[in-house]
Structure 1
Amino acid sequence: MVHALVIGGTGFVGRHAVAELREHGYEVTAFSRGQSEVPFTDEAVTHLRGDRTDERELADAAQAADPDVVVDCAAFHPGEVRTATRLFADADAYVYVSSGAAYAEEEIPKREGETSLHDCAAEEARNASAATYGPRKAAGDRAVFDAADEGVRAMSVRPSNVYGPHDYSGYLDYWIDRVEHCDRVLVPGDGTNIWHRAYVEDVASALRIVAERGAPGEAYNVADRRATTLGRLVEQVAAAVGTEIERVYAGPYELDAVDVDPGEFPYYRDEPHLLATEKLAALGWESTPLRDALEATIAEYRESERDGSDHGPDRQAANRLRQRVTSR
């Protein structure tokens, strides 16, 4: 039986990667700090506690697991990628979870090997702020490429904005909550904004497929094969919930009048963010139909205690904005 080590295996993407690997016959070890509840009952999943930023603890995990495949869901600094590719240099595959945020250019779509990546200064590589996230992920990609040049079977997977069951970000939770509690749902702009999303189970299958069939030194984008606008997403959430809503669009004039920035709404982005996925699809990967992905996400949301209140504009400001828009 092939043995996989999932670093960050109890996190959002990690837990789905563990499930995907188990469903395809892998023996799996999940390595994490143990701050999240271990979601596995499968006897073929071993959990090792440790801090991947501590080289000695990661080395101990490498020795204990002796994996054939490594899926790295918790590398947020390029130095961590360099350490991992060195420790797992003899593995059959090392797959680094990068991000679509690694791309520096606002091209439509963003393509692997064509669209330029962010530069990453030494200070940015050590920083942990949101502003340096993209540069740090890009530097991690370069560490993967360097390792591949030295003979390591290292590859990168670049997801766009990931959603799905157990998503701690709460971005989609906001829209589910609005759809379930409002007849009229505010959407910023004209609803045609596109921020490409990736269903988490599709990300997990991409990680497995790249480990099995990917080429060393290559990066693979992963996102829904059919991208949707924000307005269309809200409509599809309503259909999956089983309700009817009216989408109410708020333009710059209305937003400015109540001092609401459109970026406060989850999934809003001024520039379209679209990733090409043909390269991954050529390996045999497919994405889940959006309706199925939303239904699974909504079912888990309803079982959780989340309500989406961590995101979006202030509710009082949103109510004033709704009244202003609907009174036009």
Structure 2
Amino acid sequence: MKALVSGGTGLVGRFIVEELLDQGYEVTVGGRTQPAERLFSRPVGFVPLVLDPDRDQAVAFEGADHFVHAAFDHLPGKYRGGEGSDPDGFRARNLDGTMRLFQTARQAGVKRCVFLSSRAVYGPQRDGTLLNEATVPRPDTLYGAVKLAAEQALAAMAGPDFIATSLRVTGVYGTARPGQSHKWQALFADYLAGRPVEPRLATEVHGRDVAQAVQMMLELQADKINGLAFNVSDLLLDRHDLLRLLQAAAGSAHQLPAPVAGDAPWQMDTARLRKLGWTPGGKELLATTVRSLHASPVID
């Protein structure tokens, strides 16, 4: 099977590419620039692919059986607020450009399409709300609104010859791209330097687990997934617990931030995806990853 992955050189995209390679897929990365040498464990193809609603990019989809859309155009390091001073351009690229790619994929005969959406589609909810896929989305950012609109556009295109699914992914952690900092780099540095760290809770999922969810969407029986969205989240992670793992790995004596007091914020219910056989790595994978990030904070 041949899979085209947009945004395949990003943090999440790289995990997706590696998982598909491991499962025997022939993978082509679509993006603005060709992947650096040795970015992936095995050779991949490359085709130019951009988020431009006015560009015909049918040639990029020639021969592809599946399309995984993980690309997103935003200010570096920012998703929420990633539009900067150009909200119209942000919407045109990430919504209109995305819709054009979905349409092109379907017209080219692509069999399955997986869209990397976000928890941000839910927006603010009542404290303590357990978010499932039936929760009414209320995005309060342009990022969330664009992701939701793209989900809806893809679901409307779904049919027996174009199996389409969206994955609502929460904060993704894992090893960084070669030469890049990981998402907790500054947090770890602050703790190890003895600087105060504010208490915080966040929902997290490892990039490997996201990639496995993508693979499932490409292989499961169509009537179980077609036109649907799935939550992809693993841990409600307190910085106290995260930094306790770093403390142990580093042999540090610095004080940990206090655990977050009070009720936990709303979390994502992943029962729909777990019923299909998805099993994330949980605390064990988190601990292994923290030890690895401490040992090699920047991967060369």
TM class, shorter-chain normalised? 0.7 to 0.9
Measured after TM superposition, the shift of residue 35 of structure 1 is: 7.0
Alignment map for 1:120-269 (pairs within 5 Å): 131-148=141-158, 152-166=162-176, 170-182=182-194, 186-188=196-198, 191=199, 193-213=200-220, 215-224=225-234, 226-249=235-258
- Give the drift of 1:273: 4.2
Map Cα deviations across residues 232-271 of structure 1 (whole Å, 9 max, x no partner).
22223323444443224499xxxxxxxxxxxxxxxxxx98
Aligned partners of 2:258, 2:225: CA distance in 1, in Å?
45
Q: 1:210: how far off?
A: 1.9
Report which of the two structures shows the higher radius of gyration computed on alpha carbons.
Answer: 1
Residues in 1 aligned to 2:34 and 2:2: alpha-carbon distance in whole angstroms: 24
Q: Distance in 1 between matches of 2:164 and 2:292?
A: 36
The one-letter amino acid paired with 2:8 is: G
The question of whether the paired residues in 2 share the 8 Å contact of 1:155 and 1:217 is answered with yes
How many Å separate the matches in 2 of 1:56 and 1:223? 34
Which residue in 2 is equivalent to 1:70?
Answer: 67
C-alpha separation between the residues in 2 aligned to 1:148 and 1:110?
24
What count of residue pairs does the alignment treat as equivalent? 267
Alpha-carbon deviations, 1:198-243, whole Å to 9, x = none?
Answer: 111111111111222251110111111x422232222233234444
Taking structure 2 as the reference length, the TM-score comes to 0.78
Contact 1:105-1:116 at 8 Å conserved across structures: no
1:88 aligns with 2:105: yes
| Contact 2:32–2:50 (Cα < 8 Å) also in 1 | yes
Tell me how far apart the structure 1 counterparts of residues 201 and 98 of structure 2 sit (CA, whole Å). Answer: 30
Q: How far, CA to CA, are the matches of 2:52 and 2:287 in structure 1?
A: 34
Question: For residues 294 and 36 of structure 1, do their structure 2 counterparts lie closer, same or farther at Cα, with a shift above 3 Å needed?
Answer: farther
Conserved 8 A contact 2:28-2:46: yes
- Distance in 2, Cα, partners of 1:57 & 1:47: 17
Give the aligned CA root-mean-square deviation in angstroms: 2.9
Pick closer, same or farther for the CA change 1:154–1:301 going to 2, 3 Å.
farther
Q: Which runs of 5+ in 1 are unaligned?
A: 121-130, 252-269, 307-328
Change in CA separation of 1:142 and 1:299 when aligned onto 2, cut-off 3 Å: same
Q: 1:187 to 1:304 in 2, by over 3 A?
A: closer
Are the aligned partners of 2:53 and 2:97 in contact in 1 as well (CA < 8 Å)?
no
1:102 aligns with 2:121: yes
Other-structure match for 2:274: 281
SS of match in other structure, 1:4: strand
CA gap of 1:293–1:229, structure 2 versus 1, over 3 A, is closer
Q: Aligned pair 1:290/2:283, yes or no?
A: yes
User: How far apart, CA to CA, are the structure 1 residues paired with 2:97 and 2:160?
Assistant: 17
Matching residue's letter, 2:206: Y
Separation of aligned partners in 2, 1:216 and 1:241: 46
Cα distance, 1:159 vs structure 2? 0.8
Q: 1:51·1:57 contact (CA, 8 Å) conserved in 2?
A: no
Between the aligned residues of both structures, percent identity stands at 26
1:72 touches 1:94 (CA, 8 Å); kept in 2?
Answer: yes
Residue 166 of structure 2 aligns to a residue whose secondary structure is strand
Greater mean deviation of Cα atoms: 77-86 or 155-164: 77-86
- What per-residue deviation string (whole Å, max 9, x for no partner) do you get for residues 116-169 of structure 1? 12369xxxxxxxxxx411111111111121112686311000110111111668
Mapped to 1, the partners of 2:9 and 2:253 lie a distance apart of: 36
Residues 9 and 32 of structure 1 are in contact (CA less than 8 Å); yes or no, is this contact kept in structure 2? yes
SS in 1 for 2:102: helix
Counterparts of 1:293 and 1:247, CA distance in 2: 18
Q: Distance in 2 between matches of 1:24 and 1:46?
A: 16
Q: Give TM-score, length-normalised by structure 1.
A: 0.72
Query: Would you say 1:40 and 2:53 are equivalent positions?
Result: no
C-alpha separation between the residues in 2 aligned to 1:186 and 1:245?
Answer: 10
Distance 1:118 1:278, change over 3 A: same
Gaps of 5+ in 2: 74-93
